Structure 1
Amino acid sequence: MRNAALGALAGLVGGLVFGAVMAQIGFLPTVAALVRADSPALGFAVHLLIAAVIGAIFGVLVARQQELLLWGLAYGFLWWFLGPLTLLPVLLGDPVAWDVATARALIPSLLGHLAYGAATVPCSFFWQAGKESSALNFLCLPRSPESSSPPCSASPGGPSWPGPARSLVRNRLR
């Protein structure tokens, strides 16, 4: 339940970022049409509600994951496909169009959904309880199953990365 609540808060942050994109591309009245209105302000409110709900789902799904940035971008892509390409037309009574022309027309929305996923990740990560966190943990390579330490850790000498990545960095710096 806590992961869902924290995910909802992170989703609101992501929703604010994505809301700016939606305002720029003029998509908020389309979202408002879900509640039979055309007001951009109401569209923004509906958008934030949706962002919180899918953020809560994200919080539950990634509670034990390591590569959160990858998961956030994948989640943004998934919701671009589910949202404007699939559910929005169905809910508005329009036919679903999974074709290149429709996808191309919704590229700005894809960028917004990816921004949503990327903005939701740091908030979700930093708000999760019990994680040993550094600013780099949500970007790092997965740890080995036998390791009990976090995948990346900040140390006085700077961050340290697991196994092959650490060797690669050391060799490049010599």
Structure 2
Amino acid sequence: MAQQRTKRITDTVRRRGVINKTWSSSILGGLAGGIVFGILMQSMGMMPTIASLYGLDGATMGWVAHLFHSIVFGLLFGGIVTMTRLRKYADRIAPTTGLGAVYGVLLWFVAATIVMPLWLGAVGMEMPPVPNFDPMSLVGHLVYGVVLGAVFAAAYRR
């Protein structure tokens, strides 16, 4: 009886540790990828456009919104990797970097080519064509995914 109780407590602590590691690795990876991608976006003058998604102005608010998105999408990536059969790759840098690259391309296809143009139109901004296949956006999202995957795996293995 005492052994079963001890095992349950140990399992609970272990699960919480894995969950905390997933959260922290996801946030760290999302921020790292977001900063690298954000530098590219800043150089293209895109940050005010990101701010306008929320009815805000300026590059600073664009950075805030962009990093928020980067964390949210990083958490989604971490959940996908650790809650599926992909979990076996979570602490391996090369495979998780590859998964991040695929994730970045998928994120570009859904969020940047379809959702963002529609969102811009919904808030009264000039609406790009849907789908908006911007090659620089693809490069940025690919870089985001690669950095996200590499940093996630490096943080997860610690």
The corresponding residue for 2:96 is 68
Aligned counterparts, 1:57-136, within 5 A: 57-63=76-82, 64-66=87-89, 67-92=95-120, 93=122, 94=127, 97-98=130-131, 102-103=132-133, 106-129=134-157
1:67-86, Cα deviation, whole Å (9 max, x unpaired) = 21221111100111122211
- CA RMSD for the aligned pairs? 1.7
Q: Percent identity?
A: 32
Higher relative contact order (CA 8 A, sep 6+): 2
Unaligned runs of 5+ in 2: 1-18, 90-94
More helix by share: 2
| Equivalent position to 1:8, from 23, 27, 32 | 27
The corresponding residue for 2:71 is 52
Scaled by the length of structure 2, the TM-score of the pair is 0.72
1:78-101, Cα deviation, whole Å (9 max, x unpaired) = 111122211112222247612xxx
CA distance in 2, matches of 1:82, 1:27: 18
How many residues end up aligned between the 2 structures? 125
Q: Does 1:19 align with 2:38?
A: yes
Partner secondary structure for residue 36 of structure 1: coil
Scaled by the length of structure 1, the TM-score of the pair is 0.66
Runs of 4+ in 1 over 6 A off after TM superposition: none
